Amino acid sequence: MNKILVLIILLSFSGIDLQAQQPVLKKKGDATQLYVDGKPMLMLAGELGNSSSSSEAYLKDVWPGLKALNYNTILAAVTWEMIEPEEGVFDFSSVDHLIRSARQYDLKLVLLWFASWKNAASTYIPLWVKKDYHRFPRAEDASGKPVEILSAVSEENMKADARAFRSLMKHIAQVDETEHTVLMMQIENEPGILNTPRDYSPEAEALFNGPIPEDLAQYLKKNKNNLSRDLAKVWSANGSKTKGTWEEVFGESKIGGWSHTGEFDWHDMYYYTEELFMGYYYARYMGYVAAQGKKEYDIPMYANAWLKGPDYGWSGMHPGGGPLPSVMDMYRCAGPAIDILSPDIYVPHFTEIVEWYDQLGNPLFIPETRGGELGVSRLLWCLGEHNLMGFSPFGIDRSARTGLAGAQADPLAQAYKLIDGMQDIILEYQGTDKIRGFFVDNDNPEQSFVLGEYIVTADLMRPRTYASMGAPAPAGVRNVPEATSGGGFIILLPGGEYMVMARNVNVRFAPAQPGNLPYIGLGTLSEGVFENGEWIQGRVLNGDQIHGSIFTGTGLKMNTLGIQRVTLYRYGNRDIKRR
């Protein structure tokens, strides 16, 4: 009897340990990190084309290339129309082939639930949902015309989506609960109302013109001093009310004119009350879907956003109510099962968007963006400055078909390889004050900050040309192309040593507090790489290789990603009498 009891206890602890090893988010200082099998990891990711995952045969020649391009995580769509072709009848073969192939190539997955909304529209819903528009109502514009977008205020729509998603998560738990190939789930894809500021259906009209929901009123009271920047500004300007209709509490909207033309500042809160209203109901809907899925398998879940910008300045021009920081509080209130709000960044104001999302403890995961040289600079800055959890360029199956040759020419593939070797070190320092990032370009070519005893200055690397030295170029000699952007991060290691990973950036040092030792010199400078967290030293740099640093910084090469370790020393004037 005692042996049976001991066995039961051991099995119980085994189950607890197994549960603890599944993907989970954990706080570390001011960072949030993804833990898998009990260890933190960076998602060096890429996203397949929208339709790629629907065909196992199509992907057969893609998977080897994905491994060659140094991805460790692949983002792939799983669609409602494919897994529930008839109501209550499920087919998970499209999920299973993704998991099976990812395991074959030692890759992880983030699955994207294309269901009620994809880029705002409802094109991935099953045909039986599309046809039954009485049961599954669409949103309507101000004229009463239905749009091809499932209404976010409909309980029937929400529950049908949630039932399918819960079945999907139950299946994933059954096939992946021990191997943890699937790391996270994306709920919908770039949701929001498009081509109209909000839903004007009779059901939505009643809600908009009625009192704000009670849970939102309580949230505003509780978080009065901890709201997102946009909401705090508008709500306080309208009297910080917690009772009344949406317009009574948040004000009548500033109307910008329904056109892409004309002078306006896209930062302004045009149609903001409509956006808050839609944000609440999209958050409520998606949060319910996520919560139902977590009942079967509780792994991290996020929502991604189509961003606002100069050409998409207000609700309806971009998907209004989608997971933007302007409605972050709606998601925190009505959709707490959604762990992360994530930006899909194709706009040029990348750093502004990242800083916008990095508030209220929201972790940074970028599920769609551009790669290339610019992508590498942005990636490195995010790792050092914003505790980046994962980075993912879109449409990677095209480049994956180039295989090893493509990997050797792809700047992001080269960066992923170097980062993978040292990700344990990056993760160790994220969430501390010992790591900083920098991003420079033609508009902002220099950045400075204090790290340890020194002021660190990063400036955009310029090639040394004959013109820059005031001399004509010899016949047939071509100048090195100028870099338009550069980025990197720097870590302060024990003992005062600095480690820099950067591309197209000069990094220089100066004393933060000169005191009696106002001068500095370069003690040692070495280049190398990390392999499985171990430093493999290359050249020890001196002579011509450090002259460009004026002996006070790194000796990185133009258009080359590199890792260097630097030690510095201080000295002052000799205390002697001079004649």
Q: What is the pLDDT of residues 343-367, one digit of tens each?
A: 999 999 999 999 999 999 999 999 9
pLDDT at 472: 57
Give the number of other Cβ atoms within 10 Å of residue 430's Cβ: 25
Give the number of other Cβ atoms within 10 Å of residue 107's Cβ: 18
Q: What is the pLDDT of residues 37-48, one digit of tens each?
A: 999 999 999 999
Those residues whose C-beta lies under 8 Å from the C-beta of residue 381, and which sit 6 or more positions away, are 351, 437, 438, 439, 487, 488, 489
| 7 pLDDT higher than 50 | no
Tokens of 47: 């996203």
* Average pLDDT estimate for 155-178: 98
| 192 pLDDT higher than 50 | yes
Task: Extract the runs of DSSP E, i.e. beta strands, from 196-314.
Answer: 301-306
* Average pLDDT estimate for 245-273: 75
Share of residues in the chain with pLDDT > 70 (%): 88
Q: SS3 for 159?
A: helix
Between 554 and 32, name the one with better pLDDT. 32
Q: What is the pLDDT of residues 79-113, one digit of tens each?
A: 999 999 999 999 999 999 999 999 999 999 999 99
Q: Domain spans of the chain?
A: 17-196+276-430, 439-468+482-571
pLDDT at 477: 45
Between 578 and 94, name the one with better pLDDT. 94
| 258 pLDDT higher than 60 | no
pLDDT at 545: 73
Residue 101 near residue 59, CB atoms below 8 Å: yes
pLDDT at 556: 78
Between 454 and 474, name the one with better pLDDT. 454
With cut-offs at 50, 70 and 90, classify the pLDDT of residue 469.
very low
pLDDT at 403: 65
| 166 pLDDT higher than 70 | yes
Tokens of 575: 């205390």
Q: Which residue has the tokens 């909304």?
A: 117
Question: Which class in CATH covers the domain with range 17-196+276-430?
Answer: alpha beta
pLDDT at 70: 96
Whole-prediction pTM:
0.92
Query: Of 374, 454, 359, whose CA–CA distance to 32 is shortest?
Result: 359
Q: What is the dihedral of CA 206, 209, 211, 215, to 10 degrees?
A: 70
* Average pLDDT estimate for 183-198: 98
| 484 pLDDT higher than 80 | yes
| 14 pLDDT higher than 90 | no
* Average pLDDT estimate for 260-287: 84
| 219 pLDDT higher than 80 | yes
pLDDT at 3: 53
| 478 pLDDT higher than 70 | no
Average pLDDT, the chain: 91
Cα radius of gyration rounded to whole Å, the chain: 27
| 555 pLDDT higher than 80 | no
pLDDT at 553: 65
* Average pLDDT estimate for 509-518: 92
Concatenating the DSSP letter of every residue in 63-87 gives HHHHHHTT-SEEEEEEEHHHH-SBT
Give the number of other Cβ atoms within 10 Å of residue 16's Cβ: 10
| 561 pLDDT higher than 80 | yes
The yes/no answer on whether domain 439-468+482-571 falls in CATH 2.60.220.20 is yes
Q: What is the dihedral of CA 301, 302, 303, 307, to 10 degrees?
A: -170
Assign 3-class secondary structure to 421-479.
Answer: HHHHHHHHHCCCCCEEEEEEECCCCEEEEEECCEEEEEEECCCCCCCCCCCCCCCCCCC
pLDDT at 398: 84
Q: What is the pLDDT of residues 287-305, one digit of tens each?
A: 999 999 999 999 999 999 9
14-18, 201-205, 327-331: least confidently modelled range: 14-18
Fold: same for 17-196+276-430 and 439-468+482-571: no
Q: Which residue has the tokens 């990636």?
A: 379
130-134, 404-408, 433-437, 455-459: least confidently modelled range: 404-408
Those residues whose C-beta lies under 8 Å from the C-beta of residue 203, and which sit 6 or more positions away, are 137, 151, 153, 154
Those residues whose C-beta lies under 8 Å from the C-beta of residue 553, and which sit 6 or more positions away, are 506, 507, 508, 509, 522, 566
pLDDT at 475: 56
| 260 pLDDT higher than 50 | no
